[in-house]
Chain A
Amino acid sequence: EPEVTQTPSHQVTQMGQEVILRCVPISNHLYFYWYRQILGQKVEFLVSFYNNEISEKSEIFDDQFSVERPDGSNFTLKIRSTKLEDSAMYFCASRGSGTGGRETQYFGPGTRLLVL
């Protein structure tokens, strides 16, 4: 069964450093998402990506964040200068091309980011 994959599973970084989180969405999916979950809190939407551009972003997704689809398979989230409060689990998700809300979003296993 196809699945979303993410690398790395864990990342530890120093405050102010840049990190890139990588995702490989399900191959025939067209909508891609990044969510984050701070420990003990709810899953929060960061950004959605469709047709090689950002289609929507939340207030969390400020200028320190960027997304890219550098090739036909990878989807990346970059945090330019990490802050302590960026420590969280970051989930990538993808969904098919169906219109309406029926298409399910499938989540990757997540990258646990720890900023020291």
Chain B
Amino acid sequence: GQNIDQPTEMTATEGAIVQINCTYQTSGFNGLFWYQQHAGEAPTFLSYNVLDGLEEKGRFSSFLSRSKGYSYLLLKELQMKDSASYLCAVSYSGAGSYQLTFGKGTKLSVIP
């Protein structure tokens, strides 16, 4: 089975940088996604990594190390609206359906 671990909660200050880590154990690894989820809303796509290295997209960057089973999401210049849960999800190639297995999410609180 797949076990995806990420911290439960984090707090950071507006304007700062925060790194949210994710570790995973998976067979049939086919990529790792980060989603943002505001309370009561749907997950929205942030980033995707399948090769080792850093993917940058504006204020958000995501890093992957396949050999270590490790990823992180880096959020720069934090804004109050970044307060949300951040979900690490692994794409599993099982029967070719590429369903996602999610971690429990990291609830980020941005404070003034």
Contact = CB atoms under 8 A, between A and B. Distances in A.
**A and B part of one assembly:** yes
Interface of A: 31, 33, 35, 41-45, 48, 50, 55-56, 89, 91, 95, 100-110, 112
Interface of B: 30-31, 33, 35, 40-45, 48, 50, 87, 89, 91, 93-105
Given A42-B105, A43-B87, A100-B50, A105 B95 contact: no
A33 B105 CA distance: 20
Contacts, number: 72
A14 B93 CA distance: 37
- Interface SS majority for chain A: strand
A35 B31 CA distance: 19
A35 B101 CA distance: 10
B100 A45 contact: yes
Nearest to A49: B97
